[in-house]
Structure 1
Amino acid sequence: MKTLTDWLRSKGFTPDNIQLYYEACTHSSYANEHHSGIDNNERLEFVGDAVLQIWSATALYKLMPKLHEGKMTTIRAQTVCESTLAKLNEQLGWYKFLRLGVGEEKSGGRMRPSILADHFEACIGAIYLDLGYEAAAKILDEYMKPLITAEKPEDVTDYKTQLQEYVQTDNKRTIQYRLLDESGPSNSPTFKMGVFLDDICMGVGESSTKKKAEQKAAREALRKLAI
């Protein structure tokens, strides 16, 4: 299979808007190198993220025995996190269809978790826009639903939600995540995020994405609060 549409046809789907799938598989590095009005997959990533949120919320709501809202929030965050989406992309083989710039390809971007996760979301967004929610949900039911009840490894532990639950009993306390620094080249940046509790910095984390840096900052804050 050479394209995402080939993959979909092999699963019994009939893609219509082929351009959507090319867009879903076009990383910004590729679009930037080909100055001919090519759209990257960031807008479809936005759509796919929304589809994943409603799908996961619905799946969790239907689980038996019933879960309370806090547990649902934690499991959803763990299920749709970057590392899980990246692993699903690898499992499905969608990463093979990703169009990357030369520099990004040489630097290992094709297997970079942040790029794989974003690409997965973009593909789900394209499927939703072209074939509807039922088609996207069918794929997610088959490949993602088993992960909801599976034991979660350390790399998908949702420290941000744990921190929120730790302090939510006091409505006067607020949590904020702030970008403290951004360094490195544009195609491989490093973000330093801080988590602030009532304007006091409780933890700092660095990573290749803001989301992962926030998780590390939340983990550090939880360790301090537990002392």
Structure 2
Amino acid sequence: MISSTVLFYGTYVLCLCLGLLCVVFVSYWNIEWRGGFAWDASFLQFNWHPVLMVTGLVVLYGNAAILYRIPFTWSQRKQHWKLVHAALLLSSLILSILGLCAVFDFHTGYHIPNLYSLHSWVGICTVVLFTAQWLLGLVGFLSPCSPLGFRKLLKPVHAWMGMAIFILSLASCLSVTKNADPPPITTNYIAYSSHPAEALFANFLGVLIVAFGLVVLGILSNQRWNRLEPGEESSRVSILLSPYCVV
């Protein structure tokens, strides 16, 4: 058990470091090669889109997903950590919605059609599912009026949806690092193929996102790191919980 706990915390620190690097890299990318940020319906407003989506939909979401796996939380009241879990996911959702507002407002200002790429389709579906997931979790797991039977039925659905949304988030953000869906109307935009330094940096960002996602999924899939519920046997082998224990 000691070695398993040490391994978890080593993996968790790696997860935190990778998440921080993802945020730093996506921010630096948009500052160094794309001119920085603004909120004036210009291309600089568009630059908020990848930063907010990577920060909210990947990094914050991934850390919220593994919150219940942290061993020091197991001896504390789960209700408190449910509130922390919900707050982290709400922050993630707010950042994601702001990221969508940034790109929609930019498109409207330059009369660019919305939702015309595969990236946009996957991204909007991810945020819609995320919103539904959060609201259903709020009603099912935090409402004092929620019946126990309903919670038991909702738990595997909530777990599967949580994992699916995270994978969709990774797929959507990885498509941003390839092209970032840049509109052709700005004079400051330099074609991706003619800017090898930016291309290489964006590739590193993509690798960081993949690495972060793999570490999060690895933590979620390790049943030795599941939180034991009251009345459950201590043997990790006999635990039949979902890999994404979010309840």
TM-score (norm 1): 0.28
TM-score (norm 2): 0.27
Q: Mark the structure with the bigger radius of gyration.
A: 2
Higher relative contact order by CA 8 Å / sep ≥ 6: 1 or 2?
Answer: 2
Larger helix share, 1 or 2? 2
